[in-house]
Structure 1
Amino acid sequence: TPLHHAAKEGRLEVASLLLTYGADANAKDDSGSTPLHDAAHNGHCQLAQGLLDYWAEPNSQDETGATALHIAARGKSVLFVKLLLDADAKSEVNDGMGSTPL
């Protein structure tokens, strides 16, 4: 979706505009990723906060079972991990390989 592309590229203003006009913060792409997953892959914390402000689900899992917290922890993005934990991301969720984010 356009919101996925904005999240991947860190285009905060574009993402904000799309969300304001009704884009689904929890839309999934073909791999089950949400825009929050895409923001986590690229370390876009401000954009992630905007998604969370529009009710993005922090515990949504992609087709591998990974949440945004799994992705942020793998990328060693401490700020992103804190942002997600503050948004009630669950640290005990197992991905498809049985691993938790932390």
Structure 2
Amino acid sequence: MSDPALSQAVSPRWEYGGRYYVVWKVTGSGERDTLGWELEDVGPSPGRGIVLEAFEQEVSGEFVFTAYTDHPLPFALVHRFVNEAAREIPAR
């Protein structure tokens, strides 16, 4: 997860396929703008850490998704993550 001072859980954990996930919204220090979202697999224990993120690319300024897992993610989980992140991440 990114710096906890700059992150906040978006909602209670989500459950998909018998696993639990927490969505973190990452903001700039002292800013209200959303910089990105992270999807963390938290269990059942052991958790798998951050499995998906949406962040702005430094060079192009475009938002991109990156997966950090070799475990399959349920389509419904990814769809929900993309839709909810899209509401807060500014289109460019």
TM-score of the pair, normalised by structure 1: 0.29
Q: Which structure would you say has the larger Rg? A: 2
Larger RCO: Structure 1 or Structure 2 (Cα < 8 Å, ≥ 6 residues apart)?
A: 1
Which structure shows the bigger proportion of residues in strand conformation?
2
Identify the structure with the greater helix proportion: 1
